[in-house]
Structure 1
């Protein structure tokens, strides 16, 4: 008998996406997909999915980015630097257009400077997320029925919610390397939220070609998906705003 896994969390990893699926109790799985649509094209798609990727791209960017970024940063204490400002749609699309990486990066920076006040170029780390941002944007614009089932999540905000709405005092990484005390703290919060954590280990991460932090973040997103289904999720802002194509603009936790 196949167990239904109605909740899913997705976190980007190198070359694809890490997917955590959960029944809300003892059944928890981890997998890797190349494209997000594969999850919804499967025979048993999740009912609610939370993804660590911006949904709803702005036409113009003011100081501090979109409303979701401005609202959640103050909640996170020392972790607020993990919430980057989402560039304008024109910058994202220029960054995935034709040409080599250098020319695409220059085009993205030019578009970002022209669509932000004060003018801001694009950080390289953010630029490398543009293909994934464009992938999610295309999926939700081409398949509107998914908009109610795929929500934007930020793992640090999800952990803030799991931690009694208190900022975590330990980072996941230090100098871009995994920080075991910070990972252990997040595993403890996931366990307290009911997630079976046996698969959240370095061996599983290696098998999936992802980092342990990717697995942990995907699991945090799955917890948020369950909260959405139960009507317990918090939205920043609430009600969500909408972008030029009607996509909801809110970070959910």
Structure 2
């Protein structure tokens, strides 16, 4: 079974790929190129909002933030779908406030190109719609830690060490894949955090079943959900 965990990176997208050949990390310029290489994958978990709201905030973002407690700031609120047509932060902020009642954070605006790319891809391609599933790496790491969010930021050495230890137990070969990716790509193109997040989603993608927030929704058909592994 081929599964992928996908995260945005400064130069496009980075994916942890687990298949019959083992585990590896690959970088792609765009989602179309990634899909061309892995259209046979059974599950592709991606760290980007997929089901964008027409109005209001997504219940899945609120639920994910509640699960993460003190680490809630790791979950950015998804923009309203109308924001995809914005040409500037000022316009995006105004559109989001009009449709949701809230301004758009700078962090959410910074990932807007990736959100827009995935939204257009899924609008144009029917086949991947039930296989490309929104996930969040911090929910994965919390699940691997027994339901307890990792307290240290992934931007710190302590945070990276904690997450690598969790991955070591959940995803055989993750150390070699991580080190291989750091050796293959410049940090300006693929950061350490991007690789960790992609591998966390890869580990989750190997699970037989996944939980979803909000509870009771099917992540395969309901786009406004966030999937994550069953806590250990």
Quick check: TM above 0.5?
A: yes
Partner of 2:191: 211
Mapped to 2, the partners of 1:195 and 1:213 lie a distance apart of 19
CA deviations on 1:103-133 (whole Å, 9 max, x unpaired) are x22211121121122xx22222221211110
Task: Describe the shift of the 1:208–1:40 C-alpha distance in structure 2 as closer, same or farther (beyond 3 A).
Answer: farther
Partner of 2:166: 189
Instruction: Write out aligned runs for 1:65-84 (5 A).
Output: 65-84=57-76
Structure 2 unpaired stretches of 5+: none
8 Å contact 2:10–2:188 — kept in the other structure? no
- 1:110 corresponds, among 73, 77, 94, to 94
Q: Choose 85-94 or 204-213, whichever is displaced more.
A: 204-213
Partner of 1:15: 11
Instruction: Write out aligned runs for 1:22-37 (5 A).
Output: 22-23=18-19, 27-37=22-32
Shift in Å at residue 45 of structure 1? Answer: 3.6
Q: Does 1:198 align with 2:176?
A: yes
Q: Choose 34-43 or 45-54, whichever is displaced more.
A: 34-43
Mapped to 1, the partners of 2:176 and 2:45 lie a distance apart of 21
Structure (1 or 2) with the greater helix fraction: 2
Shift in Å at residue 11 of structure 1? Answer: 0.5
Mapped to 1, the partners of 2:218 and 2:171 lie a distance apart of 31
8 Å contact 1:147–1:247 — kept in the other structure? no
Larger radius of gyration: 1
Shift in Å at residue 204 of structure 1? Answer: 4.0
- 2:79 corresponds, among 73, 84, 87, to 87
Task: Describe the shift of the 1:53–1:43 C-alpha distance in structure 2 as closer, same or farther (beyond 3 A).
Answer: closer
8 Å contact 2:212–2:218 — kept in the other structure? no
8 Å contact 2:51–2:224 — kept in the other structure? yes
- 1:121 corresponds, among 96, 103, 117, to 103
Q: Choose 35-44 or 161-170, whichever is displaced more.
A: 35-44
Task: Describe the shift of the 1:236–1:76 C-alpha distance in structure 2 as closer, same or farther (beyond 3 A).
Answer: same
Shift in Å at residue 77 of structure 1? Answer: 2.5
Q: Which runs of 4+ in 1 moved over 4 A?
A: none
Tell me the TM-score normalized by structure 2: 0.88
Instruction: Write out aligned runs for 1:122-137 (5 A).
Output: 122-137=104-119
Tell me the TM-score normalized by structure 1: 0.81
Where 1:42 maps in the other structure, the secondary structure is: helix
How many residue pairs align between the two structures?
A: 224
8 Å contact 1:162–1:189 — kept in the other structure? yes
